[in-house]
Amino acid sequence: MFIIITKTNHATLLLLLLLLLLSIFSYANSYVFIYAGCSQVKFQPSSPFESSINSFLTSVVSSSSQTGLYNTFTLGNSPSDSTIYGLYQCRGDLKPSDCNKCIQSAVTQIGLVCPYSYGATLQLEGCYVRYEKFDFLGKPDNTVMYKRCSRSSSNDGEFYRRRDDVLATLQGAVDTSFRVSSSGSVQGFGQCLGDLSSNDCSSCLSEGVKELKTLCGEAAAAHVFLAKCYAEYWEAGYYDLSTQSSDPSNDDEVAKTIAIIVGIIGGVAVLIVLLSVCRKSAPGGK
């Protein structure tokens, strides 16, 4: 089998490799650990509630592979001690297949982070899983769960005007769908959990925007996660959220993956150049 290399093929192949790299980075980044919360009250191993949790986690993985990016669950015979309420949701820009993989990762981690807990919440960059012994579904909750702020922006007032434009758009969301906004060099997105009404979602995002400005001030990039929504913004080209980092082991794995792919791309690029030189040096080469 022969590979025909042309100048057009060079550019096309390098572009495809770059797109592959970006795709893998986005996919790996969705697994990054953000935060977890566990109830202090524990249940006994092999209890009926443990069986309900196992059924819930199995249902979450199954649903994310079939139903879509969001679903709620009520399992057990209410008001039995084994009744469990829960939901999962993926970030709105994830493909269903990536959502399912993210949920599988979250389900694996939640049992390790919150063993024998009557209630647990786990937020990854790309997805969210929560279960409780009480019914929290459809009920608003603007509690700040986690915030992440970068260093201050060195830009002038233009940055803050752009940031405020982005946050105003996020705050004006009329439904719970994934919302993206940009203004000049500033970008952002936000999303509510699907069990909120439009009014409750708007209220949650308004609170999230207020907390971003209060907690992170003049940060060039900031994220805030409330119990039922999240909002974030960043200045284009800024990726180092250094005040609070994600789970180091996950970040290391992402870094290793990217390093491997970059190495492969570099090797292929060198190979292309060498083959091109050989082709030009060969008799009849142009």
d(CA 32, CA 54): 23
Determine the straight-line distance between the first and last CA of the chain, rounded to whole angstroms: 22
**Is there a domain that residue 72 lies in?**
yes
Q: Are residues 55 and 89 in the same domain?
A: yes
Asked whether residue 254 is assigned to any structural domain, the reply reads no
Find the range with the poorest average confidence among 44-48, 151-155, 228-232, 238-242: 238-242
Whether residue 177 is contained in a domain is answered as yes
Q: How many domains does the chain contain in total?
A: 2
Instruction: Specify if 249 maps to a domain.
Output: no
d(CA 119, CA 135): 11
Predicted TM-score (pTM) of the model is 0.72
CATH of the domain at 111: 3.30.430.20
pLDDT band per the 50, 70, 90 thresholds, residue 4:
very low
d(CA 139, CA 225): 16
Query: Cβ neighbours of residue 16 under 8 Å, at least 6 residues apart?
Result: none
The pLDDT value recorded for residue 253 is 43
Range(s) of the domain holding residue 203? 141-235
97 and 187 fall within a common domain? no
The average confidence (pLDDT) of the chain is 79
38-83 pLDDT, tens digit each: 999 999 999 999 999 999 999 999 999 998 899 999 998 766 778 9
